[in-house]
């Protein structure tokens, strides 16, 4: 009786993650987190992307565990941490192997040009609100060494580094095109990899969980400016600068018209689309050699990506520029 009580208490103790999705950003990792949430065998944290191994490691394991409600799924076989920036650093991977030996690793890949462009749009949303007239085009970013690795990670090189720390049998490679866009295939692949029989990704069919939208600034120095954002009407207060983006809106009060104008002008340099020729040229110039590592070492069908040349266009996701109320009007 006493031994049984001790074992039950041990089973109820918080555990550390044993399933990590370590990369890559803008490849469908939000899809995975959302798909795992209803599964009783997989416990997800209260928020996606904990950044424990690259930003908050000094906080300790108590902080790490505090993001999980272990009572909500007491029989969960896996505790998941989906933080797609972990793959970038050798230090991150060292910390994971030391703290979580034997963890299962997922990595999701996507056509590198479409992924990079999506990350560029994401980066605008985070950097533009600094109000320092952030006005880089996609071509500008590709020429900047300080952020090139962020936008253009070399899949082959990173996967080779990953296999230095984890057994190949514990690493599952998924692709956005074959798995994220095909939830039932992803379900079957993950069920086999994790040896689970209660995954159900059917609610994810046809669902977009992280839709990309082109950020835009809006400003008015006079009252009465109304903007439609999706199914919502927004009244822009005079003197406030609004940035609308995929996650909603961000607003700053009492912005000087000159500051607002500088940001609006800078935003005109943002790249909203890539032509078919640009997609092909960027692929060959920035990714093709590295992707041969994926073909040779990891049996990834890179020919599928090479054949994808569709243009990409984000500009129609939010209200047209003519809805913008220029400073001083």
Return the minimum-mean-pLDDT range out of 99-108, 131-140, 176-185, 299-308: 131-140
Please indicate, yes or no, whether residues 87 and 171 belong to a single structural domain of this protein. yes
- Answer yes or no: pTM beyond 0.85: yes
DSSP of 183-234: HHHHHHHHHHHHT-S----GGGTT--SS-----EEEE-SSS-EEEEETTEEE
Please indicate, yes or no, whether residues 171 and 62 belong to a single structural domain of this protein. yes
> Over the stretch 88-127, which tens digit does the pLDDT of each residue have?
999 999 999 999 999 999 999 999 999 999 999 999 888 8
DSSP of 119-136: HHHHHHHHHGGG-S----
Report yes or no on 70 lying in a domain.
yes
Mean pLDDT taken over the chain: 88
Please indicate, yes or no, whether residues 88 and 49 belong to a single structural domain of this protein. yes
Question: What is the pLDDT averaged over residues 19-41?
Answer: 96
**What per-residue confidence (pLDDT) applies to 323?**
42
Report yes or no on 145 lying in a domain.
no
> Are 151 and 115 contacting, i.e. CB atoms less than 8 angstroms apart?
no
**What per-residue confidence (pLDDT) applies to 241?**
86
Please indicate, yes or no, whether residues 234 and 266 belong to a single structural domain of this protein. yes
Please indicate, yes or no, whether residues 266 and 164 belong to a single structural domain of this protein. no
Please indicate, yes or no, whether residues 51 and 171 belong to a single structural domain of this protein. yes
How many structural domains is the chain composed of? 2
Does residue 198 register a pLDDT over 50? yes
Report yes or no on 103 lying in a domain.
yes
Please indicate, yes or no, whether residues 184 and 67 belong to a single structural domain of this protein. yes
Please indicate, yes or no, whether residues 164 and 70 belong to a single structural domain of this protein. yes
Report yes or no on 194 lying in a domain.
yes
CA distance 90 to 97: 11
Please indicate, yes or no, whether residues 82 and 189 belong to a single structural domain of this protein. yes
Please indicate, yes or no, whether residues 254 and 228 belong to a single structural domain of this protein. yes
Report yes or no on 193 lying in a domain.
yes
Predicted confidence band of residue 229 (pLDDT cuts 50, 70, 90)? low
> Are 65 and 14 contacting, i.e. CB atoms less than 8 angstroms apart?
yes
Residue 22: closest CA among 118, 111, 127, 94? 94
Report yes or no on 304 lying in a domain.
no
Please indicate, yes or no, whether residues 56 and 184 belong to a single structural domain of this protein. yes
Of 177, 204, 231, which one is at a domain's C-terminal end?
Answer: 204
> Over the stretch 51-82, which tens digit does the pLDDT of each residue have?
999 999 999 999 999 999 999 999 999 999 99
Predicted confidence band of residue 8 (pLDDT cuts 50, 70, 90)? very low
- Chain-centre distance for alpha carbon 142: 19
Of 204, 232, 262, which one is at a domain's C-terminal end?
Answer: 204
> Are 272 and 214 contacting, i.e. CB atoms less than 8 angstroms apart?
yes
Does residue 10 register a pLDDT over 80? no
**What per-residue confidence (pLDDT) applies to 20?**
98
Q: Which domain holds residue 260?
A: 216-272+314-323
Please indicate, yes or no, whether residues 103 and 226 belong to a single structural domain of this protein. no
Question: What is the pLDDT averaged over residues 33-43?
Answer: 96
**What per-residue confidence (pLDDT) applies to 273?**
93
> Are 325 and 237 contacting, i.e. CB atoms less than 8 angstroms apart?
no
> Over the stretch 264-301, which tens digit does the pLDDT of each residue have?
889 989 999 999 999 999 999 999 999 999 999 999 99
Question: What is the pLDDT averaged over residues 142-168?
Answer: 94
Report yes or no on 146 lying in a domain.
no
Does residue 5 register a pLDDT over 80? no
Report yes or no on 243 lying in a domain.
yes
**What per-residue confidence (pLDDT) applies to 251?**
84
Give the residue with greater pLDDT, 292 vs 217. 292
């Amino acid at each position: 009786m006493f031994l049984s009580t001790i074992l039950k208490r041990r089973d109820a103790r918080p555990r550390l993650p044993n399933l990590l999705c370590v990369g890559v950003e803008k490849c469908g990792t939000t899809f995975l987190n959302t798909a795992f949430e209803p599964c009783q065998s997989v416990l997800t944290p209260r928020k996606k992307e904990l950044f424990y191994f690259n930003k908050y490691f000094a906080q300790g394991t108590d902080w790490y565990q505090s993001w999980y409600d272990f009572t909500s799924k007491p029989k969960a076989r896996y505790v998941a941490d989906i933080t797609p920036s972990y793959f970038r650093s050798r230090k991150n991977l060292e910390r994971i192997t030391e703290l979580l030996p034997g963890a299962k690793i997922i990595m999701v890949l996507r056509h590198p040009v479409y992924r990079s462009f999506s990350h560029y749009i994401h980066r605008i949303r985070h950097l533009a609100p600094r109000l320092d007239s952030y006005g880089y085009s996609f071509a500008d970013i590709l020429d900047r060494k300080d952020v090139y690795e962020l936008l253009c990670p070399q899949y082959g090189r990173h996967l080779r580094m990953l296999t230095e720390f984890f057994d190949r049998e514990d690493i599952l490679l998924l692709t956005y095109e074959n798995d994220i866009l095909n939830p039932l295939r992803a379900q079957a692949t993950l069920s086999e990899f994790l040896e689970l029989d209660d995954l159900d990704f059917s609610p994810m069919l046809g669902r977009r969980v992280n839709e990309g939208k082109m950020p835009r600034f809006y400003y008015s120095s006079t009252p009465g400016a109304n903007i439609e954002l999706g199914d919502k009407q927004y009244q822009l207060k005079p003197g406030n600068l609004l940035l609308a983006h995929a996650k909603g809106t961000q607003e700053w009060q009492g912005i000087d018209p000159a500051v607002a104008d500088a940001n609006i002008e800078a935003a005109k340099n943002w790249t909203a689309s890539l032509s078919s020729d640009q997609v092909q040229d960027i692929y060959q110039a920035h990714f093709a050699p590295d992707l041969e590592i994926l073909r040779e070492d990891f049996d990834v069908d890179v020919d599928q990506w090479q054949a994808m040349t569709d243009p990409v266009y984000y500009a129609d996701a939010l209200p047209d520029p003519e809805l913008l109320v220029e400073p001083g009007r």
